Structure 1
Amino acid sequence: MKIKDIVNRDIVNLTNCEFEPIHIPGSIQPHGFLLGINSNSWKIDFCSGNISEYIPAEFKNVLGADFETAFGQKQQAAVADYISKNLLLSSTPLKLELFGNDFLCTIHKSDDNYILEAEPSTENPKKLTDVYDQTSQFLAYMNETHTLKELCDMVAKGTREITGYDRVMVYRFDKDYNGEVFAESVRDDLEPFFGLHYPHTDIPVQARELYMQNLLRLIVDVNYTPVPLYTEDDGNESKNLNLSLSILRSTSPIHVQYLHNMGVGATLTISLIHQKKLWGLIACHHYSPKNLTPEIRLAAQLQGHFITSQIDIRQSNEEYEVARKSNIALEKLNSFDLPAKEESFEIIANSPEIHEICNASGFAIVLDSKIYKSGLTPDDDNIYKLCRWLADFTKNSSFSTDKLINYLPNASDFCEEASGIVYHPLSADSSYCVVWFRPESLTEVNWAGDPKKAIVKDEKGLYPRNSFKIYREIVKCQSKIWLQPELNAAANYAHTLQKQFNLLIITQEEEKYRKLSEILKETNSELENINWISTHDLQEPLRKIQMISSRLLGKEDEQFSDTVINSVQRMNNSAQRMQTLLIDILKYTRIQHIDDSFELVDPNEIFVEVLSDLQELINEKGATVNIEELPKIKGIAFLMKQLFSNLVQNSIKYSFPDKAPIVNVKSLGIQKLESDELFQVLEFSDNGIGFEQQFAENIFNIFSRLHGQDEYKGSGVGLALCKKIMQVHKGSIIAEGIPNEGAIFRLYFPTKQD
């Protein structure tokens, strides 16, 4: 059988250091040995090269063998039982005897393999009862702390007492994963690191991802020689073993060099996970080699759980006073009885509470061409520019930052007044928004070495920095951070401002429409008066023209030429047409203001009156009007009479001279239109001249005519009057025409009337 190691020998350099495959180093630390057991066949696929240092077996002989053959049936049964019961509790060790030697083993699954890591079981100099007593005492003391800082100080001290490391630090990340030593317990003769900051490059992305998966990481001796992992060479070049969850996993050579440069001999790192993110680390340093038993590791890991379980509670306690003051200011602002006028925003801007709700130093409301502001703010031009940029940058959504210059480079022009902002839009228009401002707060940050030189490259390759001398940096154009209660209060009141703004817009629109309505009402009244006066007064001279022309034509003793008689007759006909037009216009204008209540009307009774009124016209034209039994309809009786009369007259008027007009009226029952509303439908059809369907809408326009006066007399108001009557009834009228065959008019009366 051909065997190969899977050591990852890729050279790490500046172009790929962030992509270093630290989860597949192909090697382990030497304080234990590792087996990779195929989860289906129980065949040993991987084995560390140091197995012979712990048991009388060579890795060459173990590889490819069944676990039972290599270690015995009893041992396989113990491992199988552990896997079935405790695999998810990887921190619980399995006590296993191999070739007469006792080991404490951890087992987890990686792809298709169970990874078994064995460490020699030794006498624990620190009794488990002592560890239990220390943990119990810690829990009792923990309830006496109130702030997160106090709790972290206690965890650092407690972890150091349990583990015996020279230095224990609680390391907290900021939003960019730069780290800060937030709490520390250190040997008296060592220089403290408390308060120092470390750049995010010290713990690269892939390392942070592993910290999220494997909550405990141990380096027993930074001077260790990595032990290669071996496997059967089956021609698969990509064959490897994912050691993300491994206890023994070998460490990145860059990290080892980093620890060498710090003078550290051994480390223990415990992940602090909060809200599914890496909040920080418990970092333990020892200045000589140091190992911990699995029990002590578990007790140390428990210290991390104490912190993460209390982060929300402690932060809430610390922020309580801030939230209380913000809520008091918010309640006072919300209690203002503000008018729906722009002046209300001036009242708000000048209220001291508008700053207190989020501890801002400046405030501005932008309402199109006006700015209401108070406190320390940029000038108006910069506020306008800022709001336009924010609307575009945020896609018109809320935004906050304590370092605006990170997003808007030219913000340095006004960072003294507005390094930090909280922004909320008031509408979809960028011209309406509200902004709180915080000024620049110059701060001094102590870095453990120059953060710009965190990684050094020379002709030999890539190295971590070897200087941790304090590097002081003055941070400019950055404000104090906005705490969550402050952001919550600002968002809450921004919502109130938005409602006030909407109320202002509605009030302004109402006022605008009220004025327009008054102007329109006055104008309509004047037009009606003019219309009434003009139509009423015009009828008098028309009657005189008709009277005089009739007298002239009736004088038998006067002999007029045919030309004169023709002219007088034409004058009389014109006067009669004009009088008819004036009467129709009066009818049309009066219909707009009818406010009669609707009642149940019998169309059959109305048609009796209509046919009686039109009897002379029907006889003259030889027309036939067929009316089927019609259902009762909710409407206004006298308008329906006018409607039916106009439609019958229209059908008789637009008929062929040599064909007797036939008008049919019937009910089509109740029908549903697109609106799902139910309508009672009546249909009028005739055998007249019809019309092109393209004119089906135009014929309802007032004064609209498809034929000249010489062919068919009329004012052009009749069908417009019909449409107006149907609108009064909240219904509709639809026309269909076929040239030379006839026309159909359908009337839709709603079955329900308000």
Structure 2
Amino acid sequence: MKIKDIVNRDIVNLTNCEFEPIHIPGSIQPHGFLLGINIHSWKIDFCSGNIQDYIPSTHQAILGNEFKAIFGEKKEALIKDYIKKNALLSSSPLKLKLLGYPFLCTVHKSNEIYILEAESAKENSKKVADVYDQTSQFLSYMNSTHTLKELCEMVVKGIREITGYDRVMVYRFDKDYNGEVFAESVREDLEPFLELHYPHTDIPVQARELYMKNLLRLIVDINYTPVPLYTVDNGEDRNLDLSLSILRSTSPIHVQYLQNMGVGATLTISLIHKDKLWGLIACHHYSEKNLTPEIRLAAQLQGHFITSQIDIRQSNEEYEIARKSNIALEKLNALHLSANEDAFKTVVQNENLLATCNASGVAIVFNNTIYKNGLTPDDRNINKLIKWLSVFTNNGTFSTEKLLDFLPDVNDYCEEASGILYHSLSTENDDCIIWFRPESLTEINWAGDPNKAIVKDANGLYPRNSFKLYKEIVKCQSKLWLQPELNAGANYAHTLQKQFNLLIISQEEEKYRKLSELLKETNSELENINWISTHDLQEPLRKIQMLSSRLLGKEDEQFSETVINSVQRMNNSAKRMQTLLIDILKYTKIQHINDSFETVDPHDVLVEVLSDLNEMINEKQAIIQIETLPQITGIPFLMKQLFTNLIQNSLKYSFPDKTPIVKIKSLGICELNSNSFEVLEFSDNGIGFEQQFAENIFNIFSRLHSQEAYKGSGVGLALCKKIMQVHKGSITAEGIENQGAKFKLYFPLNHE
């Protein structure tokens, strides 16, 4: 059996520093030993090379054997029971004697391997009872604090008392994962780090990910020699994921970083809030130092106290801000505003609009007009800004304390508008409200130049070795928008949107009112014109007809043929004009009909129509074929007018040498646009028309033929369309030139 180590010798280089595989170092720290047990066979697949320092055996003798064959069935049963009972496998230590030596062990699962980590069980320098007494005392201190900072200060003091580290810090991340020492308890002779900032590169992404998985990390001796892990060489990829391991070997870059700081040992506890890494409890010692598992857990428990209190303490700190914002918001909502654009002048000048979000300036944009108050950019820059915001946010919301990060040309006005809170109030235009905050010059004390956090040269990759105080002045950045301020802004934007909608509705109502008045005036004028057309104009037409008839009827007068033809043409023109005026009157009267609908039998209506058209039918020798027709809901006299026009149309546009045939039948019930219609069809064998004119023929005064070829006013089919609209139905036409035409009438079954 061949055995090999799994040390990752390429763990870090110049090209993979940002993706350093720190979770698979293939080695551990020497203050304990590690076994990797296959979860199925319970064979020992991995073993650290230092096991002989703790028990009388070697990794060569152990690897490949079943656990019980080396340590006995009883020990295997104890471990299985421990695994079964502990959901958090590494949270409480298992006391176990292996080959006669006492150990405190933790077990966790890594893929298909149970990782057992064992540390020697030594006499505690502090009894467990004492540790928990201190923790209980800490709880009483916690109840006496009010702010998050006070709580963190109490935590670092309590952890330092329990653990004995030289320095204990609460390290808090900002949104970019730059860190700040938020609270500190330190040995008096050491330089304090309180309020110093550290760049995000000091704790890279992969390290933060591990802090999310493994909440406690211990380095006993910075100058340790890594212990390799061994496995049976069977040709497979034998990496072992040590993300949750307590003994996991540390990145050489991180070790060198700590050495540059002069640190000898560390303990790190993750502070997780809302599923994100909020910060760390970082403990430093300036010589090597180990802790018993009980003391580690006591320290970790205090970390849990912090995370459980973050929301409460932050809420307490933000309560006063929220209270003032809500008071301002209530006063704004209590304003009685008019339903016109003067309302925005009233709102924007109200001091509560600025107080709502603790802003220094505000602008409301409606209908391309800017209403503003306080410290704001000029109108030109506001217009540029809202054009960008509407596109960038897709007419949504946006807030930032550093607009410069998103819009490089903001330098022109960053003094008055480094921070903005924006709410779009329309999806169709640039209507919006924007609160502004001015530049707030901030001095940040960095522990060394953040631009030199990692040093690269031809020989390799190195962490910075200078932690000399570096001061940075941050420009074009405002104070942070706190959540209560963001909430208040969103609430008032919703209220303002209602005001916008009310104003838009009022403007639309005013527009429609004016249109209605204009339409009423126009209709009145049209009625006057109709009266003149149908009454005043018909009088001279009747006189023309009467005089022309008298002239033609005088037997004692001899007129030339030219004169007679002229008088006849004049008489015919007067008749056509009279017919046109009558048709116009019929057309305009239809829109004023308010007759109630009733059930009508089309057969009865057609009997009357055919009786009225008897002379024309006989003259044309036409055949009218009527099939069984269903009853229809309609207005009887309008249906008579409709049927009359359609039959007259078929007779008028028939061939002179061909017997006209008009067929009238039912096509049954048809579904259109989720509505049901009874459909009647009038078809003929006349001259027809080209289908491209199927819609135009329903336009008033529309004619496809000359007056000389076919007499008529061009109103008949327009009248048919109007009648069908009154019935809330429709009419369509199909034609084939020289083969006939079909007209389909759609009567709705429901007139509600």
Counterpart in 2 of 1:59? 59
Counterpart in 1 of 2:508? 509
Is the 8 Å Cα contact of residues 326 and 356 (structure 1) preserved in structure 2?
yes
Counterpart in 2 of 1:47? 47
SS in 2 for 1:727: helix
- CA deviations on 1:194-250 (whole Å, 9 max, x unpaired) are 2111111111111001000100000011111111112223334x4311111110001
SS in 2 for 1:31: coil
Distance 1:38 1:11 in 2: 25
Counterparts of residues 269-280 of structure 1 (less than 5 Å): 269-280=268-279
Is the 8 Å Cα contact of residues 87 and 107 (structure 1) preserved in structure 2?
no
Distance 1:102 1:700 in 2: 104
Note the C-alpha offset of 1:394.
2.4
Aligned-CA RMSD value: 2.1
Counterpart in 1 of 2:696? 698
Counterparts of residues 17-416 of structure 1 (less than 5 Å): 17-86=17-86, 88-236=88-236, 238-416=237-415
Distance 2:737 2:453 in 1: 92
Is the 8 Å Cα contact of residues 387 and 430 (structure 1) preserved in structure 2?
no
Note the C-alpha offset of 1:429.
4.8
- CA deviations on 1:609-644 (whole Å, 9 max, x unpaired) are 333332332333333444455444333232222112
Counterpart in 2 of 1:424? 423
Distance 2:533 2:580 in 1: 12
SS in 2 for 1:309: helix
SS in 2 for 1:165: coil
- CA deviations on 1:714-752 (whole Å, 9 max, x unpaired) are 111111101111111111112233444433322222222
Distance 1:420 1:738 in 2: 71
Distance 2:584 2:97 in 1: 113
Distance 2:340 2:233 in 1: 83
Note the C-alpha offset of 1:712.
2.6
Counterpart in 2 of 1:639? 638
Residue 8 (structure 2) pairs with residue 8 (structure 1): yes
SS in 2 for 1:371: strand
Note the C-alpha offset of 1:11.
6.5
Is the 8 Å Cα contact of residues 427 and 433 (structure 1) preserved in structure 2?
yes
- CA deviations on 1:665-723 (whole Å, 9 max, x unpaired) are 34444x23321212233332334333333332222122222333333321111111011
Note the C-alpha offset of 1:14.
4.8
Distance 1:587 1:459 in 2: 99
Note the C-alpha offset of 1:356.
0.5
- CA deviations on 1:133-156 (whole Å, 9 max, x unpaired) are 222222233222222112212221
Deviates more, 1:577-586 or 1:709-718: 709-718
Distance 2:105 2:58 in 1: 19
Is the 8 Å Cα contact of residues 87 and 108 (structure 1) preserved in structure 2?
no
Letter in 2 for 1:21: P
Deviates more, 1:460-469 or 1:27-36: 460-469
SS in 1 for 2:537: helix
Counterpart of 1:729 (choices 724, 727, 734) is: 727
Letter in 2 for 1:216: L
Deviates more, 1:421-430 or 1:431-440: 421-430
Distance 1:586 1:99 in 2: 117
Distance 1:397 1:698 in 2: 46
Residue 599 (structure 2) pairs with residue 596 (structure 1): no
Note the C-alpha offset of 1:412.
2.2
Distance 2:408 2:548 in 1: 91
SS in 2 for 1:507: helix
Letter in 2 for 1:610: V
Normalised by the length of structure 2, the TM-score is 0.95
Counterpart in 1 of 2:682? 684
SS in 2 for 1:143: helix
Change (3 A) 1:395 1:136: same
Distance 1:66 1:93 in 2: 23
Is the 8 Å Cα contact of residues 34 and 48 (structure 1) preserved in structure 2?
yes
Is the 8 Å Cα contact of residues 110 and 242 (structure 1) preserved in structure 2?
yes
- CA deviations on 1:244-301 (whole Å, 9 max, x unpaired) are 1110001111111121122221111000111110000111112221111112211111
Note the C-alpha offset of 1:430.
5.5
Change (3 A) 1:630 1:459: closer
Letter in 1 for 2:660: P
SS in 2 for 1:665: strand
Letter in 1 for 2:670: K
Distance 1:507 1:435 in 2: 24
Is the 8 Å Cα contact of residues 388 and 430 (structure 1) preserved in structure 2?
no
Letter in 2 for 1:408: L
Distance 1:656 1:200 in 2: 94
Distance 2:127 2:254 in 1: 33
Is the 8 Å Cα contact of residues 732 and 749 (structure 1) preserved in structure 2?
yes
Note the C-alpha offset of 1:561.
4.2
Note the C-alpha offset of 1:13.
4.4
Report the identity percentage: 78
Change (3 A) 1:369 1:667: closer
Counterpart in 2 of 1:749? 747
Deviates more, 1:533-542 or 1:481-490: 533-542
SS in 2 for 1:446: strand
Letter in 2 for 1:693: Q
Change (3 A) 1:558 1:459: closer
Counterparts of residues 348-747 of structure 1 (less than 5 Å): 348-429=347-428, 431-458=430-457, 460-628=459-627, 630-669=629-668, 671-747=669-745
Letter in 2 for 1:175: K
Distance 1:731 1:639 in 2: 13
Deviates more, 1:381-390 or 1:451-460: 451-460
SS in 2 for 1:194: coil
SS in 2 for 1:364: strand
- CA deviations on 1:283-323 (whole Å, 9 max, x unpaired) are 11122211111122111111111111111111111111111
Is the 8 Å Cα contact of residues 30 and 226 (structure 1) preserved in structure 2?
yes
Normalised by the length of structure 1, the TM-score is 0.95
Distance 1:245 1:533 in 2: 99
- CA deviations on 1:562-590 (whole Å, 9 max, x unpaired) are 44433333332222222211211121122
Letter in 1 for 2:235: G
Deviates more, 1:35-44 or 1:720-729: 35-44
SS in 2 for 1:357: helix
Is the 8 Å Cα contact of residues 222 and 259 (structure 2) preserved in structure 1?
yes
Is the 8 Å Cα contact of residues 733 and 744 (structure 2) preserved in structure 1?
yes
Letter in 2 for 1:688: G
Letter in 2 for 1:502: N
Distance 1:440 1:58 in 2: 66
- CA deviations on 1:158-198 (whole Å, 9 max, x unpaired) are 22222222221111100011111111222233332221111
SS in 1 for 2:497: helix
Distance 1:442 1:517 in 2: 59
Note the C-alpha offset of 1:109.
1.4
Matched residues, number: 752
Note the C-alpha offset of 1:450.
2.1
Distance 1:194 1:31 in 2: 31
SS in 1 for 2:357: coil
Note the C-alpha offset of 1:420.
1.1
Is the 8 Å Cα contact of residues 36 and 47 (structure 1) preserved in structure 2?
yes
